Amino acid sequence: MSRYTGPKHRLCRREGVKLCDSPKCPLSRRNYPPGVHGPKGYPRLTPYGEQLREKQKAKRLYGVQERQFRNYFETAIRRKGDTGSFISQMLEKRLDNTVYRSGFATTRSQARQMVSHGFFTVNGKKVDIPSYQVQQKDVIGIKENKAKSKLFLDLDKKFQKLELPAWLFLDAKSKSVKIVSDPVIDEVAQIFNIRSIVEFYSR
């Protein structure tokens, strides 16, 4: 299935939570699903339906396809420990999400496009795969021939207002970010229930 390219706010209204970064998201004014039957409100869901909706929230928030998301689950369940935490870590440690969290991009979709166009390096080497998993001690920087792009003109001002997660260290002078630890689920603002997602795939 191809990536969704329709109206972003439609997804916010469908899931009933703010998935975008826009201050003008219409969810606050029209807190009901899109479509002619939307004003009737959100239907009562079965346990399966609730789990499905949580999965869809996570997929749409991070821009992940179904096969990729299931691969994250299959990888996490083979590891010893909390499967939900492992899935959350893999989602957060995607290169496009890390670029977004670091303040280089204003949205995850913009970060994904910038990574795909070769704007960033990992440990000095160009990486143009949005799903690339960063690891501890990796350093993400701006590719030299992209540093003068208009996208980075106000980067210093963005860094001043940025609330950086504890697992990232920003070097504002060199405009690079270092991965200092694994993301902790409690430190990550989650709008979905990761336990429900694990239960969905464990059926």
Please give the pLDDT value at position 64: 94
Length of the chain equals 203
Please give the pLDDT value at position 34: 84
Please give the pLDDT value at position 160: 84
Classify the phi-psi angles of 193: left when phi > 0, otherwise alpha if psi is within -120 to 50, otherwise beta.
Answer: beta
> CA–CA separation, 7 vs 26, rounded Å?
11
84-98 core/surface letters (b: 16 or more CB in 10 A; e: else): bbbbbbbbbbbbbbb
Nearest to 122 by CA among 136, 108, 107: 136
Assign domain 94-179 to its CATH architecture.
Answer: Roll (3.10)
Fold (CATH) for 8-90+189-201: Ribosomal Protein S4 Delta 41; Chain A, domain 1 (1.10.1050)
> CA–CA separation, 6 vs 107, rounded Å?
16
Domain residue ranges in the chain: 8-90+189-201, 94-179
> CA–CA separation, 48 vs 199, rounded Å?
9
pLDDT tens string, the chain, 203 residues long: the values are 467 777 788 888 888 888 887 878 888 778 877 887 777 778 888 999 999 999 999 999 999 999 999 999 999 999 999 999 999 999 999 999 999 999 999 899 999 999 999 999 999 999 999 999 999 999 999 999 998 899 998 888 888 888 899 999 999 889 999 999 999 877 666 789 999 999 999 98
DSSP β-bridge partners for residue 178: 139, 169
- Considering the entire predicted model, what is its pTM? 0.88
- 121 φ, ψ to 5°? -120, 155
